Chain A
Amino acid sequence: MRSLSKIILRELRLLGSDPLAWFCMVVAPLLTALFFTTFMWQGLPTDMPVGLVDGDNTSTSRQIARNLDAMQQTRIAATYADVSEARRAMQRGDIYAFFYIPHGTTRLANQQKQPTISYYTNYSYLVAGSLVMRDMRMMSELASGAAARKVLYAKGATEQQAMAFLQPIVIETHPVSNPTLNYNVYLSNTLIPGILGIFIFMMTVYSIGMEIKNGTAGEWLGHARGSILTALAGKLLPQTVPFLLAVALMDVWLYGVMQFPCQCGAWAMFGIGALYVLACQGMGVFMIAMLPTLRLGLSFASLWGVLSFSICGMSYPVMAMDAPLQGIALLFPLRHYFLLYVNCALDGYPLPNAWPYAAFLLFFVFLPLFCGWWLKRQLLTVKYIP
């Protein structure tokens, strides 16, 4: 116990005087949380610019354009003389999509000759493209419906009859737990812990690696009377506290201030966050044990940390990846944090429902037990080569 407190005090002195530690443990996590939540303040982007090529130029085509403009996600930013001009505007990035109503549309529709209107969406910007596509598709359906409705009304149908004829089956969607399709909820909940994870990996690797680099590893182990676990505990606990504080602040910010859905309660999310912090620290110890040179260890930490965002499946589902990647995904703490968050906060299922992921995180926490002896050998034998 005495040796543990000795190491903790030593570590606190080291951390306190290191501006880099302050940056990683205090400044950067706060900045990240502020960045993402203010960046996606709107939640779901609205009024995105689309173009219109109206070759028809009749009251019907203008009606279509007006309706499109009134939709939530789209705004008609400009009208173009022809399709090539609209395409160039799209290539400039002025608009994300455009609507094309060819010459003679109204005339053909009145003659019941089935004209075709089209809309062009640019999926090079996938999010923007998908959002405007929905509105444009709806508009096209309505345009078609409006023409048919005119005929039906003329034949004496009531509105109810007309709607039942035009759209016999309606799809009612219920996006469970995120009814407004808020992208901020969907992204911030995983991106912020992901960045926190990078810092935890790095701080763990950095603080142990510096002992090797400065040649003080022997002294550090000496304080622990040769016990690597005591040495690690003394070194990492002073870092765990600020990281836990960061998690607490993040939870207060996301679930308290921003009011993101959290069905399990903020305390449960804090528990999961704490488990995640410890898991990342365990992983960090593993990294420096495997690559006991500071720069290699840090490279490992940064590459693993950055890869977490893609492989955790928050934006692109893991089930759509190739089989080997689905296995590798399990080696990333963020993947398990994401699944636990979905299980507890988003869907509101009890934690035992997702026990395998919690078990994986626990495995990461206890990783130093398995690689400690190896790290000790490295600490005592490896010399820093600049």
Chain B
Amino acid sequence: MQRYDFQQPFRDWWHIFRDELRTVFRDQGVLIFFILVPLGYPLLYTYIYNNETVREVPAAVVDEGCTAVSRDFVRRVDATADVRVVAHCASMEEAKQLVRRREAYGIIRLPRTFSQELARMRQTSVQLFVDMSGMLYYKALLLSCTNVSLDIGAELKVKRSPGTTDEQDMVTQQPIRYQQVDIFNPAAGFASFLIPAFLILLLQQTLVLGVGLSAGTARERNSYAELLPINRHYHGLARIVLGKSAVYFLVYLWNAFYCLFLVPRFFTLPQIGAPWDVWLVALPFLLATVFFAMTCSVLIRQRETAFMIIVFSSVPLLFLSGVSWPGWAVPEFWKVVSWAFPSTFGVNAYVKINSMGAHLAEVRHELFCLWAQAAFYFGTALLVYRNNIAASRRRMEQKREGIRQRLGQRRESPSTAQ
């Protein structure tokens, strides 16, 4: 009886691992997506959003009454951080021309009766016209004007109740005070909100692309356009899948460290999570993504296919993750679709831990789903590789059979001729 060689699987594994490592580091296309893009893209993206919010939105003012109160209003709006008054126009027409030339993004109109109504102790209104090409302009203009109107309103209330103490004035201004606390992203910044989600998505997309490219290359290089080379080391399903995945996983351990820890630090984005918690999420996320990528890679016959399918899915995936569009408003159908991708849970778990300081208990659900995905996609990766190997063996057999038949015919034909 032949003794089973326990070292053989490890030798095979090591061989496959080294082989794949060599492929990855020799292939320009794979290198771009495994190393270059994860290194450069986060910096570029964060740089775009790094100013966090829009300040000094240009606005035109049409002050029809031109009284002391209305001028005070305009001055205070101009003094806010978010709005800059660029022009005082004589008429709405003039202001509209400015908006049309994109010199202003909003018009603040104070009616002729503005001060009169106030003096008569009636409610008066300020009209605000906003260019809707960007929601941030709208937000900046509306918030600034509202704040100023509330401030002036509070002061007027005090003026109108004479003969009171300061303490009483405070109460008149606001019987119940209120306080807005913006937690987790105090600047309401764009980078702090979008970049964490983007980083996780970038890890997934580049990994899937890189693995897809590497599979495409393998098909183009190997004889008979097979995914796996015909080689004595390439047997044993688990060895093949684990050998290849170990390479991807190792490369992405570094990428994850760079993207999830260093990039937020470079740009001082919120980073209040415990590092170990982030790793405990990153681990199943990377595993799930690696096996997801390997499963997908079998479908890719040509290197180019990888680009077309994966690149375009990036933007929809960002929306599916429920960060840029509130998860509660996502239609049920798309929610179910989103469960197929590791990024959905990865993004949510990372945002919760990194930006919101959640502990593992709060991301239990995501963690569970990521491990489930890792297990599921490991299974599918084994399955598709098995099918692939079986199919390629069948093709080999057919080819061998064909050759044998042809040889046989050739051997027969001279004998019949004699």
Chain A residues in the interface with B (C-beta under 8 A)? 20, 23-24, 28, 32, 35-36, 38-42, 45-49, 87-88, 90-93, 96, 105, 109, 112-131, 133, 136-137, 140-141, 143-144, 147-148, 151, 160-161, 163-178, 181, 183, 186, 191, 194-195, 198-199, 202, 206, 209-210, 293-296, 298-299, 301-303, 305-307, 309-311, 313-317, 319-322, 325, 342, 346-347, 349, 353, 386
Contacts and interface: CB of A to CB of B under 8 A. Distances in A.
Interface in B332-363: 333-334, 348, 351-352, 355-359, 362-363
B1 interface: no
Given A32-B316, A169-B125, 14 more contacts: A38-B334, A39-B334, A40-B329, A49-B328, A91-B356, A91-B358, A123-B188, A124-B185, A148-B175, A198-B311, A315-B136, A315-B190, A325-B47, A386-B217
A128 B134 CA distance: 16
Interface stretch (B255-263, B289-297, B319-327): B319-327
Contacts of A191: 315
B171 interface: yes
Nearest to A150: B175
B177 interface: yes
A306 B221 contact: no
A353 to B, nearest CB: 6
A32 B316 CA distance: 8
Contact of B176 (A49, A96, A137, A143): A143
A87 to B, nearest CB: 8
Contacts of A306: 311, 314-315
Nearest to A24: B308
A195 B181 contact: no
Interface residues of B, number: 115
B375 interface: no
A181 to B, nearest CB: 7
18 contacts: A20-B302, A28-B308, A35-B334, A39-B316, A45-B328, A49-B328, A112-B168, A118-B178, A122-B184, A123-B184, A123-B186, A126-B188, A167-B123, A168-B123, A169-B125, A303-B37, A325-B47, A347-B100
Interface stretch (B28-36, B60-68, B385-393, B394-402): B28-36
Contacts of A181: 132, 135, 138
Nearest to B358: A91
A258 B335 CA distance: 22
Given A295-B28, A295-B303, A313-B134, A88 B362 contact: yes
B133 interface: yes
B62 to A, nearest CB: 13
Q: Is the interface of B mostly helix, strand, loop or mixed?
A: helix
Contact of B126 (A112, A171, A195, A198): A171
A172 B171 CA distance: 27
Nearest to B161: A165
Nearest to A302: B311
> What are the 4 closest A-B residue pairs judged by CB atoms, nearest first?
A123-B185, A45-B329, A140-B178, A91-B358
Contacts of A129: 182, 185, 188
A329 to B, nearest CB: 9
B149 interface: yes
A200 B356 CA distance: 39
Interface stretch (B151-159, B243-251, B278-286, B409-417): B151-159
Nearest to B181: A120
B185 A126 contact: yes
A114 B122 contact: no
A145 to B, nearest CB: 8
Contact of B153 (A118, A167, A295, A342): A167
Contact of B128 (A28, A39, A174): A174
Contacts of B383: none
Given A116-B176, A126-B193, A137-B180, A165 B121 contact: yes
B312 interface: yes
A353 B136 CA distance: 23
B55 A175 contact: no
Nearest to B145: A171
B122 A174 contact: no
Contacts of A151: 175
B312 A199 contact: yes
Contact of A121 (B123, B181, B213): B181
Contact of B149 (A113, A166, A170): A170
A122 B331 contact: no
Contacts of A166: 153, 157
Nearest to A64: B176
A141 B146 CA distance: 11
A99 B403 CA distance: 79
B130 A321 contact: no
Contacts of A92: 352, 358, 362-363, 365
B372 interface: no
A32 B319 CA distance: 12
B181 A169 contact: no
B100 A353 contact: yes
B176 A91 contact: no
B167 to A, nearest CB: 9
Contacts of B33: 299
Contacts of A23: 308-309
A41 B335 CA distance: 14
With most chain A CB atoms within 10 A of its CB, the pick from B125, B127, B183 is: B183
Contact of B45 (A48, A130, A296, A310): A310
A124 B355 contact: yes
Contacts of A321: 48, 51
A314 B308 contact: no
B181 A118 contact: yes
B177 A114 contact: yes
A46 B32 CA distance: 42
Contacts of B124: 168-170
Q: Which of A36, A124, A163, A386 has the most CB of B within 10 A?
A: A124
Q: Which of A48, A119, A165, A346: most chain B Cβ within 10 A?
A: A165
Nearest to A341: B133
Given A117-B177, A122-B183, A314-B134, A165 B128 contact: no
Contacts of A163: 123
B157 A168 contact: yes
B47 A322 contact: yes
For A113, A170, A194, the residue with the greatest tally of chain B CB atoms inside 10 Å of its CB is: A170
